[in-house]
Chains A and B, each alone.
Chain A
Amino acid sequence: MTEICLELKDIRKGFSDEEEVLKGISLSIGKGEFITLLGSSGCGKTTTLRIIAGLETPDAGRVFLEGKDVTDLNPEDRDVNTVFQNYALFPHMNVADNIGYGLKLKKVPKPEIKKRVAEMLELVQLPGYEKRKPSELSGGQKQRVAIARALINNPRVLLLDEPLGALDLQLRRAMQAELKRLQKKLGITFIYITHDQEEAINMSDRIAVMNHGTFEQIGTPDEIYNHPRTSYVATFVGNANILKGKAERTENGKVTVALAGGRLPVVCEDSVIREGETVTLAVRSENVRIREECTCGLMAKVEEKSFAAGQLRVVLRLSDGSELVASRYGIDAKVEQGQTVSVCFAPEDAVFVDRSGEEKNEQD
């Protein structure tokens, strides 16, 4: 990794009597990196962001910004700016005063503030909007103003808390591209929070998947999507099926796994699997194949068939009662509800997850 910009060391945080929200997380973020904290609501991602911003004090652990310990600094003394979830534009100030607020606090002369605000508005593609009030802006425009207001201060790190959450799908896609463009252009480190795995995969250099106050996996979108380490990551990011089985035979990098209703070979890349070991497999639904005649795979019963977003989704029930979802493009009339079919997947399409002994929380 290049130069480290921000470093979290064993951060812990709990609120009153509840369970700890953050259970000792550590993370190093490189300069100019676009990193996404991905997780469902309540996983601690917003708390992490607030601790970096200084709006929350950790119970334990340190925060380093460019090597300097900033854990005890007030938010106003950190070279970090935030784009809030609901934008938090000051309703009593116009767009120019909102954007220029940070510079005004730094006592930058007025003409220069005016010039830089105009430049910022140009950058976020809202030229000439200086005199508008936040209440006169659309959601997307407010978003741009909030980004401009943070970026004008030239922060070391920009924190974005689900900034696109309130926008409709089309606008969200456009803003994703624009944020990425801004980040490339300015070279500022972005820490982005979302619960939308698509957004995370589209935009990030690295993704940190959070669950119950810990990092499940930190890695590139490719690593997270194709090589999930835990069943949580596999289901959250890839909508994968989780299958429990037993490793029977290992040879030539392939492991034969006994699953409910049959045996299937699985490619084993790096993990060392011992024979007889209980294993967990993650298989994404689009990789599950259904065959009517052949008996080579797992025997399953078709429980439900539905069609949505151009995909046929078939819910199958395995002999041990567990559920398996298969999806594919186009309508397949051959599969009928109640029918018993054979299900299989290619050896390279299954991934071993939840391997104990492997490091779960840290990488790099």
Chain B
Amino acid sequence: MKKNSKLSSLYMGIIFFLMYMPVAVVIIFSFNESKLPVRFTGFSLKWYQELLGDSAMIEALGNSLILGVASCLVSAVIGTLGAVGLSRIHWKTKSALEYISILPLMIPEIILGMVLMAFFYLLNIPFGMLTLLLGHTVFCVPYILMEVKARLAGMDPSLEEAARDLGAGSFRAFWDITLPLIMPAVVSGSLLAFAMSMDDVVISIFVNGPRISTLPVKVYTQLKTGVTPEINALCTLMLVFTLGVLAVYSLAVWLLKRKNRLFSIKEK
């Protein structure tokens, strides 16, 4: 057993090293003075300075944030309503409907991107923020739908019935009882969707049009003209941001759990 555990920690160490080594390299070289990512010549923040001065990059970041938040909000509404709707029907086609609603996750992105581009072109929708938003919403909805669906499945249906019984109309019962109880799933699904929207390249490239660019697309296109340490700095910042979001989310979940053990919906 002892020997095994040593071996397994060694194995684990190697795996983690291989996985996070590149990330570490990027972070380290973002602070490198030299332009060439071969030798560390000295600590410097100049690439961060350059990044902040790069208005095109900042604009792309702004676009990505706006797009992320917007597609996340739209998908949260659609995904939640979809999950609630699916939980209430008892048709024979229910499982097929469920499958269809998460299909965007399974269709290869490249195909989805092409299809969306062709579709928007057909409808004559000008490429820009609107097409980006529509495209991102398509693949964001399933994340929220799946999370909310799982949570609804664990919810006692008599809770909403009790609210109806006490005099609440169907909307009021949903608003007062079901929504607060599925909120954690809506939030976690939305965060996941936000993360997916933030780093999407493939679909964005197809639907963003000539005048607008998101951050991942910008990074990708800049790679073609050569990597500058500015990209390293940007990656480091994005990493910090992502981890920050994750930390806030975990903290919120932990606090909620501690406050009222809300996560055990079933009262028994």
Residues of A within 8 A of B (CB): 53-55, 74-76, 80-82, 84-92, 101-102, 105-106, 133-135, 142, 149-150, 153, 166
Identify which of A86, A91, A142, A149 contacts B166 (C-beta below 8 A).
Answer: A149
How many chain-B residues does the 8 Å CB contact rule pick out? 25
Contacts of B176 in A (CB 8 A): 90, 101
Identify which of B159, B166, B170 contacts A102 (C-beta below 8 A).
Answer: B166
> A74-B164, A135-B267, A153-B166 are known contacts. Are A86 and B156 too (CB-CB below 8 A)?
yes
7 closest Cβ pairs, A-B complex: A88-B162, A102-B166, A88-B158, A105-B167, A75-B164, A82-B165, A76-B167
Contacts of A53 in B (CB 8 A): 165
Q: Is the CB of B161 within 8 A of A135?
A: no
Q: Is the CB of A91 within 8 A of B262?
A: yes
Task: Name the distance in Å between B34's Cβ and chain A's nearest Cβ.
Answer: 56
Q: Is the CB of A153 within 8 A of B161?
A: no
Q: Is the CB of A90 within 8 A of B177?
A: yes
Contacts of B181 in A (CB 8 A): 91-92
Q: Is the CB of A86 within 8 A of B268?
A: yes
Please name the residue on chain B nearest to A82 by beta carbon. B165
> A87-B267, A88-B267 are known contacts. Are A55 and B161 too (CB-CB below 8 A)?
yes
Complex Cα gap A76–B173 (Å): 10
Contacts of A133 in B (CB 8 A): 260-261
Contacts of A88 in B (CB 8 A): 156, 158-159, 161-162, 267
Complex Cα gap A153–B168 (Å): 13
Contacts of B168 in A (CB 8 A): 76, 101, 105
Contacts of A102 in B (CB 8 A): 166-167
Q: Is B172 close to A, CB under 8 A?
A: yes
Complex Cα gap A102–B176 (Å): 12
Q: Is the CB of B158 within 8 A of A135?
A: no
Q: Is B13 close to A, CB under 8 A?
A: no
Query: CB-CB contacts of B159-189 with A at 8 A, as 1s and 0s?
Result: 1011111111110100011001100000000
Contacts of A153 in B (CB 8 A): 166-167
Complex Cα gap A55–B168 (Å): 13
Identify which of B158, B166, B265 contacts A105 (C-beta below 8 A).
Answer: B166
Q: Is B242 close to A, CB under 8 A?
A: no
Interface residues of B in 214-240 (CB under 8 A from A): none
Q: Is B44 close to A, CB under 8 A?
A: no
Q: Is B264 close to A, CB under 8 A?
A: yes
Complex Cα gap A82–B163 (Å): 10
